[in-house]
Amino acid sequence: MASFPAYYKLAWHVIDLMLVAFLLLFLAAAARTIWLRFRPSAAAHLAPKQSPRKSSAADALLLLGVAMAWYNVSSGWIAQLTIYPIYGDINAYGSQAFHGFSHGYLSRIPISIVLPAGVMCLAWALLLWLPCRNVPTRIVWSIIALCVACVAVTFIAAGTQGQMYHEGFSNYLYARLLWSNGVRAIIFTLIGLLSLAAVRRRWTFNGSESLGRESP
């Protein structure tokens, strides 16, 4: 079998570190939230204090999260509607042609597909610790829950891709790849819609408050 480019392993190491960071941030934030539920007196003491620098960093994370969310919406549906259906077409030309196409695709997805998804998850996880003004925490937590679901489904899709790469095309694996990526594309779409709701809350409410202060 053909070997993957040198950057392939490095890209996956970076992605693994991002996944670990995301899960640690998520679990720590969940533990903190549960602890504060039982210690309401500590909630006011630990509430993050807004400063211009923190507010700017939170806004940057929000915009990064939105941009990456919609990048992943597009890549998820492009894979579902264009790339993966080609698998069946390529297989008609023989196993060697299918293996060549699969190798070319797998060698490119760490940077073009998986890394942006990791950046998206990490950006929203950081917003649990650096809250964005006017953005309800429930929106951020909903996005994080969808990110966790996306990670779980990605393991199914990635495992199927690897199995097809080593064992060849089969209708069973092809169907599993389509439904797992289809679920992932739907999750990306929900994240994208929630991210737009977060942006709307951040700047629409901020603008309304400013107009209220300026009116006589």
Give per-residue pLDDT as tens, 157-178: 999 999 999 899 999 999 999 9
Rg over CA atoms, the chain: 21
Q: Work out the pLDDT band at 46, boundaries 50, 70, 90.
A: low
Q: C-alpha angle 137/186/31, rounded to 5°?
A: 30
Contact 133, 51 (CB under 8 A): no
Q: Of the given ranges (7-16, 44-53, 72-81, 167-176), which has the lowest mean pLDDT?
A: 44-53
Q: Work out the pLDDT band at 36, boundaries 50, 70, 90.
A: confident
On the question of pLDDT at 214 being above 50, the answer is no
What is the reported pTM? Answer: 0.86
**d(C-alpha 202, C-alpha 132), whole Å:** 7
On the question of pLDDT at 44 being above 80, the answer is no
- Give the mean pLDDT of 25-46: 77
Which has the closest alpha carbon to 14: 118, 144, 105?
Answer: 118
What domains can be seen in the chain, in order of their start residue?
51-204 (1.20.120)
